[in-house]
């Protein structure tokens, strides 16, 4: 979507540009200040602190050497003890300062110097260590060995080099701050100059973009106020509020031109209309005389129409009475038809109840048939069991007979066994007879069960036929109920139509009566119109005078409109 550069957007854009330039200037200043602060912090916490630390180490080393020479010059062991204590304290202090410098090492060169210093210091401690402290009088008359002097000289050289390294770093940090200060000043001047130029350009541009369209609009409005509407169309290329204002001036001028043209046309039309009105007034007078004669004829006709309307009113009253009787009879038939429909619905409900009961009876018969079939199956199972028991009884009888034969062979020893065998044979004979009786009974039960099953099947068939017959009767009653309802609806519609016809007849009778009254009133009104026609003749003369005044007013309006140049 293309951005519309309205005056508001231009002002917002200009102030946004100024804000951005100010923010850039502030950011450059803040960055410069931060860099100066970091360099100053590095100068104080790194370079100067390193110089101080190395100087303390150098001073401590020199103090240690001085104390060492004092021990060589002092012959009294008691006098050497405080010097030796001071030497130990100085050794600890030098070691702490060297260790603390490790945290300020900044690069490889500084690290190499630090490692060399630490190495020389450890060597120096070994050469001036415990042997001198424990035997302070061993070299009282001599000087330190050449190795010790060389180690001390190397350590001093390293210390001087480290001091010079930190000094150079501090000088470099100061130079960086100075260069940064110059760059910051230059950047501030450049950004400030650009901001000033941008603000001046923006102010001039906004001023011109506001004053030019205002001047054009002012000139156009001055010409309009002087009555000069022959202003050319103001060409507009702007899309802001001033462009909208100039376009509104164009539209206003065009509307004024159209309004003046319309006023000129209207003045001409009014003048012509006034002349026509004057001529029409004369014609109206003649027409009014003709209307008066026609009104008198209308009055006579209205009186005759009033007489005819009275006869029509009597005939319509008789017809309304006949229609009212038809409506009452139809209403009675509708009540009877509604009763028949209700009876049909009650018959449907009774048939549905009977159908439900027959279906329940059929379901019960189905269940009884199922019970009979299960009883028949169980009877067959009992017959199988009875046959098995009979076979068992036959086998038992044979076994008992064999047992009796064996008991007879045994003589006296088998006498008891023979008695048991006889009882068993009797029991087997009784069981066989009972099984035969059960078999006959089961055959009788089976025959009866089959007959009951056949009878139940016939009952189910009859129940199905009854259900179908009841269903057919139910459908017939439903058709009867539907037809009765439809007949009732038709009769009710007929009764309503008859009532509407009766009401319409009454309305027609009332209309005819009103027509008679209207005819009477028309005759009366016609006489009044005749009088009004005479008054209209007088008004026509007044209209003619007014039309002449209107013509003069139209001429004055034309003169006024001619003052505008279009």
Assess whether 311 and 211 both reside in one domain.
no
| Cα 384 to Cα 445: distance, rounded to the nearest angstrom | 14
Distances (CA, A) of 63 to 58, 68, 156, 162, 301: 9, 9, 13, 19, 157
Long-range Cβ contacts of 253-259 (<8 Å, 24+ apart): 253/220, 253/224, 253/229, 256/224, 256/229, 256/564, 257/229, 257/566
Assess whether 526 and 395 both reside in one domain.
yes
Tell the burial category of 72 from Cβ atoms under 10 Å away from its Cβ (0-12, 13-18, 19+): buried
Partners of 565 in the β-ladder: 228
pLDDT of residue 523: 61
For residue 414, the domain's CATH number is 1.10.287.950
> Is the residue at 230 inside a domain?
no
Which among 403, 395, 406 has a CA at the least distance from the CA of 422? 403
Q: What is the pLDDT of residues 282-323, one digit of tens each?
A: 666 665 566 556 556 655 665 666 565 566 566 556 666 765
Which among 306, 308, 289 has a CA at the least distance from the CA of 522? 306
Does residue 163 carry a pLDDT above 50?
A: yes
Radius of gyration of the chain (CA): 72
**Cα–Cα–Cα angle for 227, 230, 233, nearest 5°?**
125
Assess whether 192 and 289 both reside in one domain.
no
Enumerate residues 6+ apart whose C-beta is below 8 A from 71: 80, 83, 84, 87, 132, 136, 140
> Is the residue at 91 inside a domain?
yes
How does DSSP assign 122-177, residue by residue? Answer: HHHHHHTSHHHHH-TTTTTTS---HHHHHHHHHHHHHHHHHHHHHHHHHHHHHHHH
Rounded to a whole number of angstroms, the distance between the first and last alpha carbons of the chain is: 41
- 255 pLDDT band, cuts 50/70/90, is confident
pLDDT of residue 348: 66
Structure tokens at 23: 């923010």
Domain stop point among 216, 241, 264 = 216
Give the number of residues written for the chain: 566
Number of H helices, E strands in the chain: 8, 0
Assess whether 426 and 337 both reside in one domain.
yes
Which span out of 21-35, 85-99, 125-139, 375-389 was modeled with the highest average pLDDT? 85-99
Share of the chain above pLDDT 90, in %: 0
Assess whether 262 and 319 both reside in one domain.
yes
> Is the residue at 223 inside a domain?
no
Domain stop point among 187, 216, 245 = 216
Backbone angles phi, psi at 565, to 5 degrees: -100, 120
Domain stop point among 167, 199, 216 = 216
pLDDT of residue 547: 66
Assess whether 209 and 276 both reside in one domain.
no
C-alpha torsion angle, residues 329, 335, 340, 341 (rounded to 10): 120
User: Contact, 563 vs 227, CB < 8 A?
Assistant: yes
More confident of the two residues 292 and 411: 411
For residue 205, the domain's CATH number is 1.20.1330
| Cα 313 to Cα 512: distance, rounded to the nearest angstrom | 6
Which among 87, 114, 91 has a CA at the least distance from the CA of 102? 114
Angle, helix 241-410 to helix 146-225, in steps of 10 degrees: 120
Assess whether 99 and 212 both reside in one domain.
yes
C-alpha torsion angle, residues 495, 498, 500, 504 (rounded to 10): -170
Backbone angles phi, psi at 107, to 5 degrees: -150, -175
Assess whether 426 and 506 both reside in one domain.
yes
> Is the residue at 236 inside a domain?
no
Give the count of alpha carbons within 13 A of 116, CB side only. 18
pLDDT of residue 337: 62
Distances (CA, A) of 179 to 25, 33, 47: 18, 13, 19
Tell the burial category of 488 from Cβ atoms under 10 Å away from its Cβ (0-12, 13-18, 19+): buried
Assess whether 195 and 311 both reside in one domain.
no
Residue 106's SS3 state is: coil
Least confident range of 142-146, 286-290, 519-523, 528-532 = 142-146
8-state DSSP, 412: G
Does residue 500 carry a pLDDT above 80?
A: no
Range of the domain at 373: 255-561
Distances (CA, A) of 14 to 17, 150, 407, 424: 5, 75, 145, 136
Assess whether 290 and 200 both reside in one domain.
no
pLDDT of residue 159: 85
Assess whether 417 and 518 both reside in one domain.
yes
| Cα 257 to Cα 227: distance, rounded to the nearest angstrom | 11
Mean pLDDT of the chain: 72
Assess whether 302 and 423 both reside in one domain.
yes
| Cα 467 to Cα 485: distance, rounded to the nearest angstrom | 26
Tell the burial category of 146 from Cβ atoms under 10 Å away from its Cβ (0-12, 13-18, 19+): exposed
> Is the residue at 468 inside a domain?
yes
Q: What is the pLDDT of residues 425-480, one digit of tens each?
A: 777 777 777 767 777 776 776 777 777 677 767 766 766 776 676 677 667 667 76
Does residue 332 carry a pLDDT above 80?
A: no
| Cα 454 to Cα 429: distance, rounded to the nearest angstrom | 38
Q: What is the pLDDT of residues 189-232, one digit of tens each?
A: 888 888 888 888 888 887 877 787 777 778 777 777 776 767 77
Does residue 328 carry a pLDDT above 50?
A: yes
Phi-psi region of 2 (alpha: psi -120 to 50; beta: other; left: phi over 0): beta
User: Contact, 100 vs 53, CB < 8 A?
Assistant: yes
> Is the residue at 248 inside a domain?
no
> Is the residue at 246 inside a domain?
no
More confident of the two residues 36 and 66: 66
Does residue 133 carry a pLDDT above 50?
A: no
pLDDT of residue 136: 44
> Is the residue at 185 inside a domain?
yes
Long-range Cβ contacts of 182-186 (<8 Å, 24+ apart): 183/32, 184/28, 184/29, 184/32
* Number of structural domains the chain divides into: 2
| Cα 397 to Cα 256: distance, rounded to the nearest angstrom | 146
- 145 pLDDT band, cuts 50/70/90, is low
| Cα 355 to Cα 366: distance, rounded to the nearest angstrom | 16
């Amino acid at each position: 979507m293309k951005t519309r550069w309205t005056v508001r957007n231009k002002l917002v854009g200009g102030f946004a540009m100024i804000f951005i330039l100010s923010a850039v200037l502030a950011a450059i200043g803040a960055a410069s200040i931060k860099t100066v602060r970091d360099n100053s912090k590095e100068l104080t916490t790194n370079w100067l602190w390193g110089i101080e630390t190395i100087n303390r180490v150098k001073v401590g080393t020199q103090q240690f050497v001085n104390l060492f020479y004092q021990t060589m010059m002092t012959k009294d062991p008691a006098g050497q003890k405080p010097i030796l204590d001071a030497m130990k304290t100085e050794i600890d202090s030098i070691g702490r300062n060297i260790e603390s410098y490790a945290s300020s090492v900044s690069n490889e060169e500084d690290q190499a110097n630090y490692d060399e210093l630490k190495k020389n210091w450890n060597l120096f401690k070994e050469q001036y260590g415990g042997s001198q402290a424990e035997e302070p009088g061993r070299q009282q008359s001599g000087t330190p060995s050449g190795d010790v002097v060389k180690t001390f000289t190397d350590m001093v050289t390293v210390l001087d080099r480290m001091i010079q390294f930190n000094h150079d770093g501090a000088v470099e940090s100061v130079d960086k701050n100075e260069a940064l200060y110059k760059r910051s000043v230059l950047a501030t001047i450049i950004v400030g100059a650009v901001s000033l130029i941008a603000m001046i350009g923006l102010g001039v541009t906004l001023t011109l973009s506001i004053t030019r369209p205002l001047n054009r609009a002012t000139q156009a409005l001055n010409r309009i106020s002087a009555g000069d509407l022959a202003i050319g169309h103001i060409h507009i290329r702007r899309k802001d509020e001033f462009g909208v204002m100039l376009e509104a001036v164009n539209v206003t001028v065009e509307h004024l031109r159209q309004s003046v043209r319309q006023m000129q046309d209207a003045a001409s039309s009014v003048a012509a209309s006034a002349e026509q009105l004057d001529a029409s007034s004369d014609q109206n007078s003649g027409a009014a005389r003709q209307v008066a004669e026609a009104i008198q004829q209308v009055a006579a006709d209205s009186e005759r129409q009033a007489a005819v309307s009275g006869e029509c009113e009597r005939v319509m009253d008789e017809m309304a009475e006949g229609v009212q009787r038809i409506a009452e009879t139809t209403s009675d038939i509708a009540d009877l038809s509604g009763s028949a429909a209700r009876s049909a619905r009650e018959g449907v409900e009774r048939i549905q109840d009977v159908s439900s009961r027959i279906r329940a009876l059929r379901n019960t018969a189905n269940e009884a048939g199922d019970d009979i079939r299960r009883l028949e199956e169980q009877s067959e199972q009992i017959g199988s069991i009875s046959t098995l028991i009979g076979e068992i009884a036959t086998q038992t009888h044979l076994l008992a007979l064999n047992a009796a034969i064996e008991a007879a062979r045994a003589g006296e020893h088998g006498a008891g066994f023979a008695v048991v065998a006889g009882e068993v044979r009797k029991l087997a004979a009784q069981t066989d007879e009972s099984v035969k009786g059960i078999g006959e009974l089961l055959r009788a039960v089976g025959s009866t069960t089959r007959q009951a099953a056949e009878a139940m099947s016939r009952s189910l068939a009859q129940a199905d036929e009854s259900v179908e017959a009841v269903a057919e009767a139910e459908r017939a009653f439903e058709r009867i109920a539907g037809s009765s309802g439809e007949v009732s609806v038709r009769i009710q519609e007929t009764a309503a139509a008859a009532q509407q016809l009766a009401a319409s007849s009454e309305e027609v009778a009332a209309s005819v009566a009103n027509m008679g009254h209207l005819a009477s009133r028309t005759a009366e009104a016609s006489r009044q119109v005749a009088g009004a026609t005479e008054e209209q003749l007088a008004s026509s003369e007044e209209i003619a005078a007014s039309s002449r005044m209107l013509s003069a007013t139209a001429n004055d309006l034309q003169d006024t409109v001619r003052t505008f140049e279009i």
